[in-house]
Structures are given as C-alpha cells and as structure tokens.
C-alpha cells in the first residue's frame, strides 16, 4: 500500500443548468417527433424544416455539453 | 345501473375469463371500465356512448355562433340555393348557360392537354364514385320490422339508444355521431322545401309519408341524428382539380350508404328514420351539427370539427326513437377564424368575407338570415366553379389551418392553445404559413401514394380521445 494521496474535485453543475438540459432534451424530442410525424403526414416542407431544426438543436446541445465539460474540468 | 346489469352470471364470468366462446358478448359488463381494445379503442365510458374529447373542447349551452331565432325562417332549398338549377335564378338563364359552356370547354381542353388533376384518369376516378346509389326520405324499407318478426320493438333508455346508434353508425362508417332534439327554434333548421320542390310538412300523423307534392314528418320524429363522414385530405389538398373535387362526391356517396344502413337499422328496431331524399336535402346540416356539438361555424360557413377540422361532411336524419342529446361546443374555432382569414385570402373568387367580426347582414337571398356569420357570396363561388375550376373547388377546406392529420404533437398543442389563449391566434396563423401548410399538393404525385382505405384514418376518433 502506498501513502500516495489523491485529491478529487467534483464540479457541481448549478440547478439552472440542469433545467436548461431538461428543456433542451424536451425541445429535441418534440422537434424530432414533429419532423417524423410530418413525414408521415406527407408534409415534406414542414418535415424538412423540422429535421434541420432538430439536428441543429441536437448538435448544438452536444457541442455545448463538451465545451461545458471542458470548462468544468479545467 | 340496475342490479341485473351489474351482476355477472356464471356464463358471462366464463366468457370474461376467456373460457367461453364469444367473449365479446360480455362487452356490456365491461362498459365503463375504459379497458383498451384493438386499434387503441376503449369501451364506451359514457352511458350514451359519447366519445371522450380533448380537455380543451368545452361543452356550452349556446353555440359560439350567435343566433336570433326570431329572424330564422325555414329555408326553401328549392328556390334559395345556388346549387344546381337554382344558379340560373341568380345570374339569369343566358349567363348560366354560357358559364356551363365555358365549363365544358375547359374540361375538354384540360383533358386533352393532360393538365395534372384534370387528366382522363382523374375524371374516370370521379366517374367511379358518382352518386348513383339511391337514397330516400323514408329509406329502403326492405328489412323486417319487429312486427314482421312477431316480436316487440326494441326498448331502452335514451342513453342506451344513443349508444347503440353510435356503435352501429361507426360500424357503417360515420366518423362521429351526435344527437339533437328539435324544439320550436331548431325546427326552423328543417327546410320548408326539399331541393326537388316537395314541401316538408310537420304533422300529427304517427307515420311519415310522401306524396307528389310533399313529405310529411311526424311531430314525434323530433330527434335528429347528426353524423360526420371524413374526407380524404390527400385528395382535397390538391384543390381545385377534378382529383380534389371527387373527394366531395365520394364522401356524399358514403354518407348515403350510412343513411340507408341506419334507416334499415332503426326500422329493424321498430322505429322510423327519415333521411335526405337527395344530396343536401331535409335540413341545414352544418347548423344542426353545430347545435349538436359536432363543431363550430367557420369563416367559410362550413362546420369545423375539433377532431377533423373541416375535412368532414355533415349529414342528418330524423327519428322517433328517443335519444340522449348533445350540446354545442366551444373549442375557440370561431374566435380563431376572426383572426386567420386564410380561406378568404386563398379564395380565387373573392366569395369569402375579410371582415374580422361576423355580421347579421346577409349577402344575398341564398344566405339564411338570423345568425351572425361571415356570409359568403355563393354566386361568386359557383361562378368560379364553372369558369375557373371547371369542377367543385374546395380551396377553403384545403388551406384551413385546422386541416391537419394530427400525427405531429404540435397540432394538438396548437389546437389547445387556440382554445385557451386566443391572443396567440395570429401567431399560430403566421406559423401555419411559415411551415408551408395549405399549399396545393402535386396532383400527379397522388397516383403514386399508398394510402389507407378511402384515404382516411378511421382510427382517428378513438385513438385521439
């Protein structure tokens, strides 16, 4: 057994950030459901718009997540 | 519920347990449980079989359309309407004849030039559903009555009657069914004369009858059965073309089939059912539908249902079987029409009003006064049918923001918003435009689509409840 010690730092996300992530998840699910359903409804223009919006939301969220994680771990 | 209804016999118990044949016969014992069945359907939870509606559809005592019953008179459908031969009485025989000629020339030219939606196959499609199926005031009268069978006629509570009629009519193809009891006011919604000129006369006689001059309605036939038949959005959203136009004809054909079937069903129970002797005969369908809560009156003077939007046709029958009746609704539809005006903007004939508020003032003799509405100029509309569309039009139905298939969650949310936050109506209308809803669809594309039977989703009324 070594006497080496480790210091763990836990960066807590503030409560409003969790709320923002919940809102983001809802927005992604809502947009993608409407995109898929609009395809089923044979409304191609609506479906196209919503697919683009949904993918931007998804990618935007992913980018923010990784950037934020980096900031928190710095 | 009586004791006999709630007690489960051993036989029924076995059926419920799946041990006996015909488990479905135990359905009455399950009524009210909300138990799910195939197609997402549930057992009726309402004793009268009223389907559940979205929370934002409010039942009200008076319709959202203001009515001054003292000004309402029974409408003469023979002389008042612009449909059919009545058109000539408004524009003159010569003009009517000239417009008829224009329509025929346009039709030939478009078929020859293979104009999408007006090709030979589109006209052939229309010919296939042309309204040849017979219909009559008193029905086919072919089935045995209880008297013929030597048994007493069916009896039950008004709720039971409503429930079994609803079940039967849904089975025959009606999207939604509602009931109304005629009083001194609503009786004015029955025409004074049918389209063929026969007078409609209420009588103390017990049995309905018909002569060369008149149709006699027994006073005891005071219960109105209203029903909606869904129209195919995928064809009507291609208006104005023959492909779109035949949607209406097909829906009327289905309405006739349902009428004939229901007339025989009620005869089989021992009651009378008086229907339309021809298309749009007997009474003012949208007005009765609104009084029975099937929907609200729109800017284009048709009924808009909270469930199906304008993509329905309304039909009616009279019966002497006492039924549990329904009330008008408020789902914010008429209020939305004040701000939307999309149908008026899209109407190529300029027949629809742009006024924000509805008015008591009629446009012409073809309108029926006594209610506050956006009265349309039916002569302009019918003129366009002849010299522009060369078929029925239907653009007002197609562009309406309520004409949606309701697969996307957003549609239900928007309808809930329309019903509860009228301040958002303008925003919802703008978004409808921004997303491109209401644009005319490609007519040729329809021939490549693999659509459900009759082009409608028949599970909608139950799956959306």
Q: Which residues from A are below 8 Å from B405, CB to CB?
A: 40-41
Pairwise CA distance, residues B418 & B416, whole Å = 5
Pairwise CA distance, residues B314 & B226, whole Å = 7
In the three-class reduction of DSSP (H, G, I as helix; E, B as strand; rest coil), residue B371 is classed as strand
In a domain, A26, yes or no: yes
At residue B307, does pLDDT exceed 60? yes
Q: Count of alpha carbons within 13 Å of B267, Cβ hemisphere only?
A: 20
Are B408 and A45 within 8 A, CB to CB?
Answer: no
How many of the other CB atoms lie within 10 Å of CB of B178? Answer: 26
Are B164 and B46 spatial neighbours (Cβ–Cβ below 8 Å)? no
- Tens of pLDDT, residue by residue over A3-55, are 788 888 777 888 999 999 999 999 999 999 999 999 999 999 999 999 999 99
In the three-class reduction of DSSP (H, G, I as helix; E, B as strand; rest coil), residue B296 is classed as strand
Find all residues with CB under 8 Å of B458, minimum gap 6, and list them.
Answer: B173, B175, B230, B452
What pTM value is reported for the model? Answer: 0.89
Are B393 and B385 spatial neighbours (Cβ–Cβ below 8 Å)? yes
Q: Is A45 on the interface with B (CB under 8 A)?
A: yes
Domain region containing A68 = 15-73
Instruction: For residue B379, give both structure tokens.
Output: 């002569």
Q: What confidence tier does B334 reach under pLDDT thresholds 50, 70, 90?
A: very high
Which of A27, A41, A54 would you mutate first to test chain B, the one with the most B CBs within 10 A?
A41
Q: Which residues from A are below 8 Å from B436, CB to CB?
A: 43, 45-46
Q: Quick one: pLDDT at residue B45?
A: 82
Find all residues with CB under 8 Å of B145, minimum gap 6, and list them.
Answer: B153, B267, B268, B270
Domain count of the fold of chain A:
1
B197-213 average pLDDT score:
97
Mean pLDDT over each residue of chain B, to the nearest integer: 91
Are A41 and B407 within 8 A, CB to CB?
Answer: yes
- Tens of pLDDT, residue by residue over B362-391, are 999 999 999 999 999 999 999 999 999 999
At residue B1, does pLDDT exceed 50? no
Are B436 and A42 within 8 A, CB to CB?
Answer: no
**Chain centroid to CA B320: how far?**
21
Separation in Å, CA of A65 to nearest CA in chain B: 27
Q: Is A34 on the interface with B (CB under 8 A)?
A: yes
**Bridge partners, B180 (sequence order):** B224
At residue B31, does pLDDT exceed 50? no
Q: Is A31 on the interface with B (CB under 8 A)?
A: no
Q: Is A38 on the interface with B (CB under 8 A)?
A: yes
In a domain, A2, yes or no: no
- Tens of pLDDT, residue by residue over B74-119, are 999 998 989 877 899 999 999 999 999 999 999 999 999 999 999 9
B301-310 average pLDDT score:
97
Q: What confidence tier does B28 reach under pLDDT thresholds 50, 70, 90?
A: very low
Q: How far apart are the first and last CA of chain B?
A: 25
Range name among A39-43, B43-47, B155-159, B231-235 with the lowest pLDDT average: B43-47
Are A40 and B404 within 8 A, CB to CB?
Answer: no
CB nearest B410 (choices: A34, A42, A45): A34
Are B274 and B245 spatial neighbours (Cβ–Cβ below 8 Å)? no
Separation in Å, CA of B409 to nearest CA in chain A: 6
CA dihedral B104, B107, B110, B113 (to 10 degrees): -70
Residue of chain B whose alpha carbon sits nearest to that of A46: B435
Burial class from Cβ neighbours inside 10 Å (0-12, 13-18, 19+) for residue B83 reads middle
Are B275 and B153 spatial neighbours (Cβ–Cβ below 8 Å)? no
Alpha helices in B33-149 (DSSP H): 77-80, 86-91, 93-112, 120-128, 146-149
- Strands B214-218, B199-203: pairing kind: parallel
Are B405 and A33 within 8 A, CB to CB?
Answer: no
Q: Quick one: pLDDT at residue B293?
A: 98
In a domain, A3, yes or no: no
Which of A39, A43, A47 would you mutate first to test chain B, the one with the most B CBs within 10 A?
A43
In a domain, A66, yes or no: yes
Q: What confidence tier does B26 reach under pLDDT thresholds 50, 70, 90?
A: very low
B316-339 average pLDDT score:
98
Q: Is A43 on the interface with B (CB under 8 A)?
A: yes
Pairwise CA distance, residues B326 & B179, whole Å = 6
Residue B227 sits at φ, ψ, to 5 deg, of: -145, 150
Q: What confidence tier does B321 reach under pLDDT thresholds 50, 70, 90?
A: very high
- Tens of pLDDT, residue by residue over B418-464, are 999 999 999 999 999 999 999 999 999 999 999 999 999 988 766 55
Which residue would you say has higher pLDDT here, A72 or B125? B125
**Residues belonging to chain B with any Cβ–Cβ distance to chain A shorter than 8 Å:** 234, 404-405, 407-410, 435-437, 439, 441, 449
């Amino acid at each position: 057994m070594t006497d080496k010690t480790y210091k763990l730092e836990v960066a807590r996300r503030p409560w409003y950030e969790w709320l923002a992530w919940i809102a983001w998840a809802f927005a992604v699910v809502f947009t993608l459901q409407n995109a898929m359903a609009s395809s089923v409804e044979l409304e191609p223009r609506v479906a196209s718009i919503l697919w683009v919006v949904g993918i931007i939301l998804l990618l935007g969220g992913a980018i923010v997540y990784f950037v934020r994680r980096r900031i928190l771990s710095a | 519920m009586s004791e006999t209804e709630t007690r489960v016999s051993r036989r029924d118990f076995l059926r419920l347990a799946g041990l006996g044949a015909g488990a479905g016969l135990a359905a009455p014992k399950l009524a009210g449980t909300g138990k799910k069945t195939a197609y997402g359907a549930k057992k009726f939870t309402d004793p009268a079989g009223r389907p559940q509606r979205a929370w934002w559809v409010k039942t009200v005592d008076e319709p959202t359309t203001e009515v001054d019953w003292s000004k309402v008179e029974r409408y003469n459908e023979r002389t008042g309407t612009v449909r059919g031969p009545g058109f000539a009485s408004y524009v003159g025989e010569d003009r009517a004849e000239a417009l008829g000629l224009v329509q025929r020339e346009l039709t030939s030219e478009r078929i020859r030039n293979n104009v999408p939606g007006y090709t030979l196959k589109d006209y052939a499609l229309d010919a296939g559903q042309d309204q040849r199926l017979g219909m009559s005031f008193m029905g086919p009268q072919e089935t045995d009555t209880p008297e013929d069978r030597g048994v007493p006629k069916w009896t039950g509570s008004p709720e039971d009657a409503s429930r079994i009629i609803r079940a039967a009519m849904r089975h025959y193809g009606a999207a939604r069914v509602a009931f109304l009891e005629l009083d001194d006011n609503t009786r004015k919604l029955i025409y004074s004369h049918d389209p063929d000129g026969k007078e409609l006369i209420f009588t103390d006689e017990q049995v309905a009858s018909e002569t060369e001059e008149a149709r006699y309605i027994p006073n005891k036939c005071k219960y109105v059965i209203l029903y909606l038949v869904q129209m195919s959005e995928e064809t009507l959203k291609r208006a104005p073309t023959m492909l779109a136009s035949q949607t209406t004809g097909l829906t009327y054909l289905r309405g006739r089939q349902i009428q004939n079937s229901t007339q025989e069903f009620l005869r089989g129970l021992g009651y009378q059912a008086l229907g339309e002797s021809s298309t749009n005969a007997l009474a003012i369908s949208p007005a009765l539908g609104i009084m029975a809560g099937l929907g609200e009156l729109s800017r284009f003077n048709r009924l808009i249902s909270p469930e199906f939007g304008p993509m329905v046709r309304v039909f009616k029958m009279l019966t002497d079987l006492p039924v549990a009746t329904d009330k008008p609704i408020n789902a914010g539809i008429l209020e939305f029409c004040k701000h939307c005006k999309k149908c008026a903007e899209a109407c190529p004939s300029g027949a629809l009003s742009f006024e924000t508020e509805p008015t008591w003032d009629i446009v012409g003799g073809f309108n029926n006064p006594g209610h506050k509405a956006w009265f349309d100029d039916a002569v302009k509309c019918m003129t366009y049918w002849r010299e522009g569309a060369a078929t029925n039009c239907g653009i007002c139905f197609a562009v309406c923001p309520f004409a949606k298939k309701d697969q996307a969650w957003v549609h239900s949310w928007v309808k809930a918003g329309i019903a509860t936050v009228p301040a958002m109506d303008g925003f919802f209308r703008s978004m409808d435009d921004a997303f491109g809803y209401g644009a005319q669809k490609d007519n040729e594309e329809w021939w490549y689509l693999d659509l459900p039977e009759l082009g409608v989703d028949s599970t909608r009324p139950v799956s959306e409840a």
